[in-house]
Amino acid sequence: MADFDIDIIRPQMRLEDVKLERREMARADLQSLKKALRAFHTLETMAVNIYKWQVTRRPSELNRLLIAAMANEMTHLQDFQVKLYEFGLKPSRVRGAYWLFGFAIGFFSRHFGAKAVLKAGIWVETKAVHHYSVLLSSVAWDSETRLIIRKDQADEEGHVSRWKSLLSKGQSE
């Protein structure tokens, strides 16, 4: 995804960027869009909590990068929450379970050390990249929403690269 600058953690959003997307859609198309947006939203809820619970009090480069990744994931969460409401939809009622999954992965990987934090990040973000690919190809997205999803996917790929690089350099401390 070289088309996107993944060093931009929080892209600018202006008032005119918020649109009401309630247009005539086939019921099946709306259902697949709803399912995909809810999946993105709940998975990003989990990702935010993973990073939040992986950060320690130690002033380190890893913590700085985890905080940046958390901020980036918070932006993704906002992207999908906004899209849900633009299409007249609501977040999933079970998203709290994903908050708990994120807590568990983040807390326990932090407990086992920086190497476990990086491995958990690689595993989760690799799964996210795959989910993004599946959901991008399974729904008839409008061009603006597709662009947002592709940017968020590029960010996830950047996280995988960053964590793999730190792990291979032994810079997990």
Instruction: Give 6's pLDDT tier (boundaries 50, 70, 90).
Output: confident
Residues 86-95 pLDDT 10s = 988 999 999 9
The correct answer on CATH 3.40.190.10 for the domain covering 27-168 is: no
* pLDDT at residue 172 in the model: 54
Separation of alpha carbons 145 and 109, rounded Å: 33
Quick one: tokens of 19?
């649109």
Above 50 in pLDDT, residue 1?
no
Question: In whole angstroms, how far apart are CA 144 and each of 90, 164, 168?
Answer: 20, 31, 36
- Residue 14 three-state SS: coil
Residues 103-144 pLDDT 10s = 999 999 999 999 999 999 999 999 999 999 999 999 989 888
Give the closest residue to 53 by CA, choosing from 123, 124, 104: 104
Instruction: Give 173's pLDDT tier (boundaries 50, 70, 90).
Output: low
146 DSSP assignment? H
